[in-house]
Structure 1
Amino acid sequence: MTKLLQFTGFKLCWFGLILIPNLAIWPALLYLLCSLWQLGAKARLAVVGISIAGISMDTLLLKNAVFSFVDTGYLSPWFTLCLPLWLLLLWGCFALVLVQVLAGWLRHWWLAALVGAVTGPLAYWGGAALGGQLVFADTTTFLLTLAPCWALLLALAVYCRFLWSDDDASKTLSVH
Structure 2
Amino acid sequence: MTKMVANAVLFQIGWFACVLGGTGPWLLVPAAVLCIYFFWISSWAAEGKLMVTVVLAGAAIDSFLMQVGVFEFPGESKLVPLWLAALWAMLATTLNHCLAWTARPIWLASLLGAISGPLSYFAGAAIAEVELPLEQGMTLVILAATWAIVFPLLHGFAHIYRQQWLVRQMAQKN
**Structure 1 residue 163: Cα displacement:** 1.2
- Cα pair 1:61 1:67 within 8 Å, conserved: yes
Q: Tell me what 1:101 maps to.
A: 98
What amino acid is aligned across from residue 18 of structure 1 in structure 2? V
Offset of residue 60 of structure 1:
0.8
Per-residue deviation, residues 86-114 of structure 1 (Å, max 9, x unmatched): 11111111111223321244321110000
CA distance in 2, matches of 1:53, 1:108: 22
Instruction: Decide which of 27, 30, 51 is 2:29's aligned counterpart.
Output: 27
1:61 CA displacement: 0.5
Query: For 1:120, which of 117, 120, 133 is the aligned residue?
Result: 117
Q: Match for 1:70 among 62, 69, 74?
A: 74
Match of 1:144 in 2: 141
Q: Which amino acid is the alignment partner of residue 113 of structure 1?
A: S
Question: 1:113-136: CA deviations, max 9, x gaps?
Answer: 0000000011000111122x1111
Aligned residues between the structures: 160
Q: Give, in angstroms, the shift of residue 40 of structure 1.
A: 5.4
Separation in 1 of the partners of 2:97 and 2:20? 24
Provide the rounded CA distance (Å) in 1 between the counterparts of 2:38 and 2:104.
Answer: 22
Distance between the aligned counterparts of 2:97 and 2:33, measured in 1?
13
Gaps of 5+ in 2: 167-174
CA contact (8 A) 2:102 2:109 kept: no
Instruction: Look up the match of 2:162.
Output: 165
Q: Scaled by the length of structure 1, what TM-score is found?
A: 0.81
Aligned to 1:153, the other structure's residue is in SS state helix
CA contact (8 A) 2:66 2:72 kept: yes
Distance in 1 between residues matched to 2:25 and 2:158, nearest whole Å: 33
1:23-72 deviation line (CA, Å, top 9, x unaligned): 3201211221342354252422112212221111101101111111123x
Matched, 1:84 2:88: no
Shift in alpha-carbon separation, 1:28–1:40, aligned structure 2, 3 A: closer
Give me the CA root mean square deviation.
2.1
Change (3 A) 1:161 1:88: closer
Change (3 A) 1:159 1:11: same
8 Å Cα contact 2:114/2:148 also seen in 1: yes
Q: 1:32 to 1:40 in 2, by over 3 A?
A: closer
